């Protein structure tokens, strides 16, 4: 399966077979997340793999009782470690070492980031983390399609309850719950906006597609 096929085949799956998912497959999924890109290579994603029935039940309750959540054999809790942003100078050094960034970056970018970190708010860090972690989560979602597995992004939950259930420390934020299992449904594609509503030519508002035709 190529990437385009995985993108086309993916659906949010809310019905799962009861089959257990081997740890090796879960490892393959997390490995796909590990390779995701992130700003300054921060890699703030962290994952908790939940299989325990009682924990799944509690997570379902924290997610406003969305019924399919506990029926998934596995739930991957996708988190952001906000303290990862304190390590940016180490990450920049690694990038310089690997040849991805020039040595000049050390003098220009590191002071810039250090200055920014003095005034950065938790909200700013969460916004940055959300972008990075979302890419990693979607890597999992697409690789799951390739492995014959289904997932559903879940963001509708009570953050504090999820954090309490999983003993997540203060400097970590929950970004998504990802129920995972073998699909027990094969839904048609869900509706999408047409391209002419999404793409503009040169400035916001002028339809790219119409001008093209
Ligand atoms: C960030 C995000 C949050 C979502 N949260 C939920 C959720 O809490 N519960 C749910 O049932 N589906 C959730 N979904 C799934 C969407 O409803 C779904 O992606 C959308 O309806 C399109 O359907 P499709 O994914 O099958 O193409 C979420 C999706 C995303 C990307």
The answer to whether residue 174 is domain-embedded is: yes
186 C-alpha vs ligand 1 centroid, how far in Å?
16
Chain segment 194-210, per-residue pLDDT in tens = 998 999 999 998 888 76
* Residue 13, burial from CB neighbour count under 10 angstroms (0-12, 13-18, 19+): buried
Q: What rounded mean pLDDT belongs to the chain?
A: 94
Task: Quote the percentage of the chain above a pLDDT of 70.
Answer: 98
Bridge partner list, 80: 45, 173
Chain segment 88-99, per-residue pLDDT in tens = 899 999 999 999
d(CA 8, CA 130): 24
d(CA 26, CA 33): 11
pTM over cut 0.75? yes
Range of the domain at 122: 3-89+116-186
The answer to whether residue 210 is domain-embedded is: no
Which CATH number is 44's domain given? 3.40.109.10
Over residues 62-86, the mean pLDDT reads: 96
Judge if the beta carbon of residue 204 lies within 6 A of ligand 1.
no
Judge if the beta carbon of residue 25 lies within 6 A of ligand 1.
no
> In total, how many domains does the chain have?
1
- 14 CA: nearest ligand 1 atom: 11
């Amino acid at each position: 399966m190529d990437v385009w096929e995985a993108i086309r085949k993916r659906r949010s799956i809310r019905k799962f077979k009861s089959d257990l998912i081997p740890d090796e497959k879960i490892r393959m999924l997390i490995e796909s997340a590990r390779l995701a890109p992130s700003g300054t290579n921060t890699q703030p994603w962290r994952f908790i793999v939940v299989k325990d029935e009682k924990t799944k039940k509690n997570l379902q309750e924290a997610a406003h009782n969305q019924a399919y959540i506990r029926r998934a054999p596995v739930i991957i809790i996708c988190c952001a470690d906000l303290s990862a942003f304190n390590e940016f100078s180490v990450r920049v050094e690694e990038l310089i070492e690997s040849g991805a960034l020039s040595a000049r970056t050390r003098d220009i970018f590191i002071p810039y980031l250090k200055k920014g970190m003095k005034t950065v708010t938790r909200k700013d860090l969460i916004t940055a983390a959300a972008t990075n972690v979302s890419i990693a989560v979607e890597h999992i979602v697409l690789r799951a399609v390739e492995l014959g597995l289904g997932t559903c992004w879940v963001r509708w939950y009570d953050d504090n309850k999820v954090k309490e259930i999983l003993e997540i420390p203060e400097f970590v934020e929950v970004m998504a719950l990802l129920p995972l299992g073998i699909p027990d449904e094969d839904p048609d594609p869900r509706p999408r906006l047409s391209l002419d509503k999404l793409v503009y030519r040169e400035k916001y508002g002028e339809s790219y597609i119409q001008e093209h035709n």
